[in-house]
């Protein structure tokens, strides 16, 4: 039924709708059961649903009470075969005036009762489906909780526009930076970032550069031109990704995660976010802060990574 693709609120609403529908069906089934039982108890081999048959049925039933059970089939056949304009006399001659049984033919057409046994079976099947759906909803809410997002669960594009999963960096400490080629902070920051990457990387640490042209239009080139500029002028060995937007409705989801987690939105180029091996934001730095303030935090994360690997051995 597609139940397991929805959130807890949507699942709860769907479950309540099913219970409401089950209540309606249960009420109708109860009515059908009581009505069907009465019709079954009073039914003869022929139905009384034909037009005008109800009056004839009452008349014949009254006669049966007077004459005994031995005349039941004869009188019922008469009541269904002929229209009786007035109630017959309860005396013996009235019965004698009726046509002979040998001349009467039974009706070949039968009329089913209004309520029948298969409806109860349908209700049982429907109720079973409702109960199974309820069990699935409970299991979904209890055991299939949606996995929380982290930085490494996102996908981005490289400088050539190819999809890259950040999952490949899980287990490392990463420093995510919004870079620009024509900014007053370009030289100082690119040199410091490459120094940091060379000192701590690449086994347990890496810098991830995301070009952005939203601050002073200081990154006008294409993604491949930006990568060539960084490698040619500063010899960077860390990855430079596709140019993105980090502000507004078109913001890159991965970078938006960093902003939402840190509660700090970049106001200029070269804002830096330190991400743990588990994909959580640890700390952020503004562009004017020296690179020396970042090194102790990076070193601390790397020590934790190494200690964890030793414990796992």
Which of 13, 58, 132, 183 is an active site residue? 183
DSSP calls for 245-270: --SSTT--HHHHHHHHHHT----SS-
Per the structure block, which two tokens stand in for 233?
């002028």
Distance CA(243)–CA(271), nearest Å, equals: 15
End-to-end CA distance of the chain: 45
Question: C-alpha distances in angstroms, 95 versus 66, 67, 92, 126, 273?
Answer: 11, 9, 5, 51, 105
- Angle formed by the axes of helices 186-200 and 295-312, nearest 10°: 20
Q: How far is CA 102 from the centre of its chain?
A: 70
3-class DSSP assignment, residue 173 = strand
Per the annotation, the verdict on 80 as an active-site residue is: no
Beta strand pairing call for 173-179 and 205-211: parallel
The residues assigned a catalytic role are 183
């Amino acid at each position: 039924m597609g139940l397991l693709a929805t959130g807890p609120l949507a699942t709860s609403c769907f479950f309540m709708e099913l219970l409401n529908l089950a209540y309606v069906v249960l009420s109708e089934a109860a009515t059908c059961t009581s009505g069907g039982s009465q019709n079954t108890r009073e039914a003869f081999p022929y139905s009384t649903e034909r037009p005008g048959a109800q009056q004839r049925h009452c008349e014949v039933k009254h006669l049966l009470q007077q004459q005994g059970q031995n005349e039941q089939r004869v009188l019922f056949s008469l009541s269904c075969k002929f229209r009786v304009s007035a109630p017959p006399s309860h005396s013996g001659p009235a019965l004698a005036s009726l046509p002979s049984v040998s001349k009467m033919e039974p009706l070949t057409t039968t009329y089913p009762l209004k309520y029948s046994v298969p409806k109860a079976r349908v209700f049982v099947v429907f109720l079973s489906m409702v109960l199974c759906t309820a069990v699935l909803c409970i299991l979904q809410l209890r055991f299939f909780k949606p996995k929380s997002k982290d930085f490494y669960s996102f996908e981005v594009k490289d400088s050539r526009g190819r999809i890259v999963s950040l999952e490949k960096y899980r287990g490392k400490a990463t420093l995510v930076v919004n870079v620009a080629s024509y900014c007053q902070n370009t030289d100082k920051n690119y040199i410091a970032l490459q120094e940091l990457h060379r000192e701590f990387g690449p086994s347990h640490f890496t810098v991830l550069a995301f070009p952005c042209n939203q601050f002073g239009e200081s990154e006008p080139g294409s993604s491949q031109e930006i990568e060539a500029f960084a490698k040619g002028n500063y010899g960077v060995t860390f990855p430079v990704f596709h140019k993105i937007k980090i502000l507004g409705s078109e913001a890159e989801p991965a970078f938006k995660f960093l902003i939402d987690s840190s509660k700090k939105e970049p106001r200029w180029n070269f804002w830096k976010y330190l991400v743990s091996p588990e994909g959580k934001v640890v700390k952020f730095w503004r562009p004017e802060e020296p690179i020396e303030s970042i090194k102790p935090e990076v070193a601390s994360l790397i020590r934790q990574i190494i200690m964890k690997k030793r414990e796992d051995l």
